[in-house]
Every structure is written in structure tokens, then in C-alpha cells.
Amino acid sequence: MKSRPLALIRDDLVDYDKAMERMAELVEQRQRDERPDTLWLLSHPQVYTIGRRTPVEHLPDPARHIPVVETNRGGQLTYHGPGQLVGYLIVKLAANEGVVDYIREVEYRLIDALGTLGISAERRDTPPGSELLTGVWTAATGRKIVSIGMRQSRGITSHGFALNVDGDLEPWHWAVACGLHDVDMTSARREAGAATMDQVRPIIAAAFEARDQSVQDLTA
């Protein structure tokens, strides 16, 4: 896997709609070469996000009172909430590189990071005609620990991954995650016991060779 250093932006809890606005700005800046390839680490308040192909029957009961937002990324329904580390990747693809190629790289970098946490993980190939198995799964228990959904526009990626760290997993049971009826979503805490957000954040940043930007750049 080639070296691909990224600039790092760190935030705590950011409203999903506001994050989408900011991400669009970052993408436009990268398209104009006004910023480097960037990893934005953050978390969201409770929200379900869906792709354009997500069936209505996969949505949660409105009585759960968790917002459902349609997004332009690939993939199906996913859940975001406190205790989940989201990584948005604004990266310029090489001339011979597609977004699917980059997603494979993202999977392997996350597998390496989870290994540092003592969690053996793997990616899965999707059988023909099956729902996409994009993401990262625990090798020992066969549970899904990372969801990935990305897109590219004019050669720049957006959206990214969501790693369950130490949050509540119950909302995953209230909808059909990733289009997979039998998926068992898990977290770093469930698999490794003592994993915390403070422990996981720097490990994920290191896996993506991501370093903090200057204050001036962050406010550009």
C-alpha cells in the first residue's frame, strides 16, 4: 500500500447537515487544489443516513424519533451516533484510480488500525448478485465493525467510514443496516473490552498518515 499522507481535521460532535455543508466546501477546495488530501474525524448526534436505493422497509419506526436523512454517498442505510468515530476522506484520486480502488485501500488501513487495538479484522468480497459487503468485519466473531460509503466527483472523494468505538449499538437493531438483514453490528469496546474514543482516534489518524493542519488552514 503506497504512502498517502493526509491533513487531519479533528472535531467532536457535529450535526450531520452542518457536516455535509462543510464537507462540500472541503471537496470544492480540494478540486481547486486549495487544500491537501484531508481526513476529517468527528462524530454525529443520532441519525440514520440512507442511499438512493434503500428500501422503505429497511427504515426504522418513526416512533424511535431518530432523524432519517438521504445522502448522495454509495451504500444503503447506516446509523451514526455518539461513540462512533466518523472519518470523511477528501482525497484526489490518481489518474488510473477509481473510488472502488480507494475504498479497498481504506478497508486495509482500518484493518491495520484495528489490529493495533488487538482486534483481528478483515474485508469481504461481494458474491455476484449479493448486497455489497463493503466495510470491515471482525475475523473471530464475523461481526461488522466499520461501515464505508463513498463517492467521487471530478476525481475527488467524499464521505468515508464509520467505526463503532464505544457507543450504544441498540439503534442498529431498529433498522436494516447496510441492506443486510442478518448483520451483527459490533464495536471496538464489544470486541476489545476497554477501547475508548481517546484511544482510537490517534490510532486511526496514524493508519491514514494524517497529521493536524495549522489553525490558519482549518479556518480557510
Residue 104: domain span: 6-218
Q: What is the pLDDT of residue 205?
A: 98
**d(Cα 71, Cα 86) in Å, to the nearest integer?**
15
Residue, of 51 and 83, whose pLDDT is higher: 83
Please state the rounded mean pLDDT for residues 94-101.
94
**d(Cα 124, Cα 183) in Å, to the nearest integer?**
13
Residue 110: inside a domain, yes or no? Answer: yes
The residues near 21 (Cβ < 8 Å, ≥ 6 apart) are none
Residue written as grid cell 476489545: 192
Q: Which residues of 165-202 are buried (b: 16+ CB within 10 A; e: fewer)?
A: bbbebebbeebbbbbbeebbbbbbbbbbeebebeebbe
122 catalytically annotated: no
Q: 3-class SS at 174?
A: helix
Residue, of 178 and 110, whose pLDDT is higher: 110
CB distance 210 to 161 below 8 Å: no
CA–CA–CA angle 92, 96, 98 (5° rounding): 60
Catalytic, out of 178, 188, 197, 207: 178
Residue, of 183 and 127, whose pLDDT is higher: 183
Residue 162: inside a domain, yes or no? Answer: yes
Q: What is the pLDDT of residue 195?
A: 86
Q: What is the pLDDT of residue 216?
A: 37
Residue 1: inside a domain, yes or no? Answer: no
Q: pLDDT band for position 101 (50/70/90)?
A: very high
Read off the CATH number of the domain in which 82 is found. Answer: 3.30.930.10
Q: Residues of the chain with pLDDT > 70: what percent? A: 95
Angle formed by the axes of helices 99-116 and 197-207, to 10°?
130
Q: What is the pLDDT of residue 53?
A: 79
Residue, of 88 and 127, whose pLDDT is higher: 88
Q: pLDDT band for position 220 (50/70/90)?
A: very low
What's the domain count of the chain? 1
DSSP classification of residue 31: H
**d(Cα 117, Cα 202) in Å, to the nearest integer?**
11
CB distance 21 to 39 below 8 Å: no
Q: What is the pLDDT of residue 1?
A: 83
Assigned C-alpha cell, 200 = 482510537
Q: What is the pLDDT of residue 79?
A: 97
* Average per-residue pLDDT for the chain: 92
Residue 35: inside a domain, yes or no? Answer: yes
